[in-house]
Amino acid sequence: MDLRETTKRLINAFGVSGDEFRVAEIAADLMRPFVDRTEIDQFGNVTGYRLCGRVGAPKLLIDAHIDQIGFMVTEVTEQGFLRFVAMGVDQRMLQSLELVVLTRSGTIPGVVCAIPAHQQKSGEEKKVLGPDDLVVDLGMSGETARKTVRVGDYMVFADPAVDVQGDTLCGKAIDDRSCLVSILHALELIKGKDVNCDILALASTKEELGGHGAMGCAYTHNPDLAIALDVCHARTPDNCPADTVFEMGKGPVVVIGSNSRPRVARRVLEIARAKEIPHQVKAVPGSSGTNAWSMQLAREGVQTLILSIPVKYMHTPAEMICMKDVENTGRLLSEICLAYDAGLREGQ
Amino acid sequence: MRELLKDLCELDGVSGFEDEVCLFIKRRILPFVDHVNVDALGNLLAFKKGRKPRVRPCIVSAHMDEVGFLVKGFTDKGELTIVPVGAIDPRVVVGRRVRIGDKRIPGAIGLKAIHLTTEEERSIAPGFDQLHIDIGAPTKDDAEGLVRVADPVTFDSRFIPMGEGCVKAKALDDRAGCAVMITMLEAELEYDTWFAFTTNGEIGYRGASVVARRLDPGVCIVLDGTAAGDLPEVDPHLHGTGLRKGAALSFMDRGTIYSRRLVKSLTEAATDRGIRWQYKQMVSDLTDASTLERGASGAQTITLSVPVRNIRSASSIICLSDLDELSKLAVLAIREAGDCDV
């Protein structure tokens, strides 16, 4: 499997929290060669089942979310402009932003307007305008716009993925579809091998809203261990000293804390060292901001572990990830699958 | 004209680095002109005979350059610092794709994750001194091996059709003007006319001044893009121009007042012929006009524009029918300029 091309296929697709079905189809398609069967539930969560055939085998759930951040149309004006809400998007990048509007009959381009210079009152040049002060231009008359776009239609960043230097890929929705690629790579690496657990690969929905999809699936599947894969922050030039950031290219980040079971995590570090997989470590005392936070409270509680991949410029159209990190995260996951037994489960 | 406009917009030509655009236009117009040369500032000057001579030269001009950046330097970690070329609002560049230099090295102007910001931080737009281009280079050495200080940086923005008869692209200001001029050159002219594809428009319209000094024109017709502020958030009296209302013209800009005779005769003639035009209702910009006027012994000037939304950004939008009207208006202006015995 070409990891870069697979990542591009996923991140170029459109699926904002609440309507991930297009991406779910692609995820199921990608999982199929490596699992016994796939299921897509009513929300668009995709589960791939790889059963080991042993009665009473422990169940390992590995999750990445497939929803991306985006926008929603709240009004189509008489002159054909769109008013909108932005979900998870820094308002400092809005002016002149290029979007794709997901209408019922297909995708159309839109551009968030930029307020002309002669409109700027002096002293306001640095003021940031939020969604309430901006509109999306479709290049259409009001009549056509109202026939084409409806309130509730989603909008997403338009730019397709591009290769940049340093084994790096730049695009939207790297958070978190790149982590799904790591899961696929892990499944690829263990294909045909004997494991001691049932593996459930999960491509979940609505993470950006609070981990809803994964929580429901954790309830349904009731795993012995749920591993949430999500991206973390890579160092960028505009970081503050206080920001917790990691280096791209130095491997997956193993999280340790109340939401990522310390004994299990330390065992994972031992595996990483033994198998010479580059890795980094992150201390997270409370909420991890990942699906692990909601999955941990499913049913009567689920043990959770978190692995992350460092990503620059998260939640912008120009997120960046190092493909070697995607590969090494897949490798680490595959080793966890191979090692997973009662011992790892209890973190002994 | 759309294909021509697409070709023009997809060329890279930041002020001072217009070669690629100049070469394209020169090759394109060569079969249709009587004389062409490129001067010391990179201006492309073409002369085409018409059916009638003029007493003094008449120049039609548009600038070839676009806004962009130059690489200022490198950070320790291999990102690029930048300095803007032209009056770009820093608020329109965050998160944008760019390409650098002849090799068109891809990069992006990044912004750190929203999760790491405070509400206060998000209310203040970063200036160019806080913005960087990331090309993915792992180290400063890697970056220095691929790009150089002072390499030109252009927005990476595709030319795409939009909505009803509109297009989105970078550099519509002023490749739209260039497209109109090329189209005029491919047809017969009523009068002898000079066509000046100028440089350094975005940094102060300097290219045009030496053109005027060389030719000592009687009349100059400037074709440019002008900001269309016809948005719901903008008070109607501040719109300036609007899309789908036709070509725009004005009595003045911030540099000079145009020939009143020419504005009057042109608007009357345009109305007679059913050409759609609108007044530009704000005095907010400069164009080549004032530099052309003062280049030598003095010229009568007028500026004709196509309304552009999101001007000086990666995602400018025009309506193609407005550009068609500009074309018709420009041809009419050449006639109305007469023999330029001013």
Q: What are A19-74's pLDDT values in tens digits?
A: 999 999 999 999 999 999 999 999 999 999 999 999 989 999 999 999 999 999 99
pLDDT for residue B207: 87
Q: What are A114-157's pLDDT values in tens digits?
A: 888 777 777 777 889 999 999 999 999 999 999 999 999 999 99
pLDDT along chain B (342 residues), means of 10: 97 96 98 96 97 96 97 96 95 96 96 91 92 96 96 97 97 98 97 96 88 94 94 86 94 90 95 96 85 91 96 97 98 93 77
pLDDT for residue A342: 58
Distance from B85 to chain A by nearest Cα, in Å? 16
* Chains A, B: CB pairs < 8 Å: 224
Whether the Cβ atoms of residue A34 and residue A180 lie closer than 8 Å to each other: no
Q: Is the pLDDT of residue A234 over 50?
A: yes
Q: What are B295-313's pLDDT values in tens digits?
A: 889 999 999 999 999 999 9
Distance from B206 to chain A by nearest Cα, in Å? 21
| Partner-chain contact B114 A318, CB within 8 Å | no
Q: Which residues contact A128 (CB under 8 A, 6 or more apart)?
A: A91, A92, B91, B122, B123, B124, B125
Whether the Cβ atoms of residue A309 and residue A175 lie closer than 8 Å to each other: no
| Residues of chain B contacting residue A288, judged by C-beta atoms under 8 Å apart | none
Measuring CA to CA, how many Å separate A272 from each of A181, A277, B341?
19, 5, 85
| Residues of chain A contacting residue B282, judged by C-beta atoms under 8 Å apart | 118
| Residues of chain A contacting residue B312, judged by C-beta atoms under 8 Å apart | 117
Give B 63-122 residues with CB within 8 A of chain A: 75, 77, 79, 87, 89, 91-92, 94-97, 105-117, 122
pTM: 0.93
Take residue B257 and report the two structure tokens written for it: 């007042």
In angstroms and rounded to an integer, the radius of gyration of the C-alpha atoms of chain B is: 21
Whether the Cβ atoms of residue A23 and residue A13 lie closer than 8 Å to each other: yes
Q: What are A177-220's pLDDT values in tens digits?
A: 999 999 999 999 999 999 999 999 999 999 999 999 999 999 99
DSSP string of B183-234, one letter each residue? HHHTS--SB-EEEEEES-TTTTSHHHHHHHHHH--SEEEEEEEEEB---TTS
Whether the Cβ atoms of residue B131 and residue B94 lie closer than 8 Å to each other: yes
d(CA A33, CA A190): 12
Q: What are A238-269's pLDDT values in tens digits?
A: 998 888 999 999 999 999 999 999 999 999 99
Determine the distance from the C-alpha atom of residue A9 to the mean position of all C-alpha atoms in its chain, rounded to a whole number. 14
**CA-based nearest residue to A272, from A248, A249, A247, A252:** A252
| Residues of chain A contacting residue B103, judged by C-beta atoms under 8 Å apart | none
d(CA B127, CA A161): 26
Of B77, B106, B157, the CB nearest to A164: B106
pLDDT interval class at A347 (50, 70, 90): low
Per cent of chain A over pLDDT 90 is 91
pLDDT for residue A122: 74
pLDDT for residue B206: 83
Q: What are A160-177's pLDDT values in tens digits?
A: 999 999 999 999 999 999
| Partner-chain contact A119 B97, CB within 8 Å | no
Helix (H) and strand (E) counts in chain B: 8, 17
B198 vs A: CB within 8 A: no
pLDDT for residue A348: 45
| Residues of chain B contacting residue A159, judged by C-beta atoms under 8 Å apart | 97
